[in-house]
């Protein structure tokens, strides 16, 4: 799985030009994968929590006219309710969400990224397909992205969700100046990485999104951990698919 990811994905740099060769990059990913998987496996989960709201809902920004963009620093009156896509809370889905939050905790702690989120694809009909945010750390952001070609024109998340091709931007200003489309949730963001999450049949079942407030943030070590996270998460997301 790791070798396929290295061969098929543009991770933002040419591996032959790195001080570390492809074999070393693969080794870094393997080490990060094992460390993250062991961390999640070693963390406790509980059958019930005092407030499911901590797992199943989160604040979201107000959306602009037509719902195409988020209004920065304007919080919607109603939080997003994950039970609308996951159904009534159960011990099984609760434990899975807890594990996703543990992945977020680990990634943020190790990379010091300013924002990190996990999204899953939901919807069976093409017109209903969307990315839904399940767990994150950082500033509030929209809960769903419609998986349409129209929205892909302004959203890296949707581009990755549709194409299965990673997106690595280590200088947002330069990227936009060169004609790249960019959905601004937080104007402080200077670097961003979106990676696809695949199932065992190589189908895209979600994405991860990481953001930082400085340029050139995502080096080889951080990229190795993000790839490892996408692989660990791939075993968790199908458990939540309705």
**E-state strands within the chain:** 57-58, 61-63, 70-75, 80-81, 115-122, 130-137, 144-146, 167-169, 191-198, 204-212
Mean pLDDT over residues 176-193, rounded? 82
Tens-digit pLDDT profile for residues 102-160? 999 999 999 999 999 999 999 877 678 999 999 999 999 899 999 999 989 888 999 99
Structural domain boundaries enclosing 138: 2-240
Domain total for the chain? 1
Counting beta carbons within 10 angstroms of the beta carbon of residue 126, is it exposed (0 to 12), middle (13 to 18) or buried (19 or more)? Answer: exposed
CATH number for the domain that contains residue 151: 3.30.450.40
Mean pLDDT, the chain, rounded, equals 86
- Residue 200 pLDDT: 87
This prediction's pTM: 0.91
Is residue 19 pLDDT above 50, yes or no? no
């Amino acid at each position: 799985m790791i070798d396929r990811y290295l061969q098929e994905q543009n991770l933002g740099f040419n591996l032959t030009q790195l001080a570390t060769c492809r074999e070393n990059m693969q080794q870094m990913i393997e080490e990060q994968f094992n460390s993250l998987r062991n961390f999640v496996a070693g963390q406790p989960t509980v059958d019930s929590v005092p407030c499911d709201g901590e797992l199943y809902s989160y604040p979201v920004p107000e959306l602009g006219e037509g719902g195409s963009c988020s209004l920065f620093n304007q919080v919607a009156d109603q939080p997003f309710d994950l039970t609308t896509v996951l159904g009534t809370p159960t011990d099984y889905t609760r434990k899975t969400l807890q594990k996703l939050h543990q992945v977020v905790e680990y990634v943020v702690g190790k990379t010091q990224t300013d924002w990190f989120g996990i999204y899953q694809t939901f919807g069976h009909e093409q017109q209903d397909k969307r990315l839904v945010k399940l767990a994150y750390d950082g500033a509030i952001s929209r809960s769903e992205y419609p998986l349409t070609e129209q929205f892909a024109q302004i959203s890296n998340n949707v581009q990755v969700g549709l194409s299965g091709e990673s997106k690595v931007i280590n200088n947002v200003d330069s990227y936009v100046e060169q004609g790249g489309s960019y959905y601004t949730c937080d104007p402080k963001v200077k670097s961003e990485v979106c990676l696809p999450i695949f199932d065992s049949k190589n189908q895209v079942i979600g994405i991860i999104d990481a953001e930082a407030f400085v340029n050139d943030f995502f080096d080889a070590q951080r990229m190795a951990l993000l790839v490892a996270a996408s692989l660990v998460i791939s075993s968790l997301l199908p458990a939540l698919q309705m």
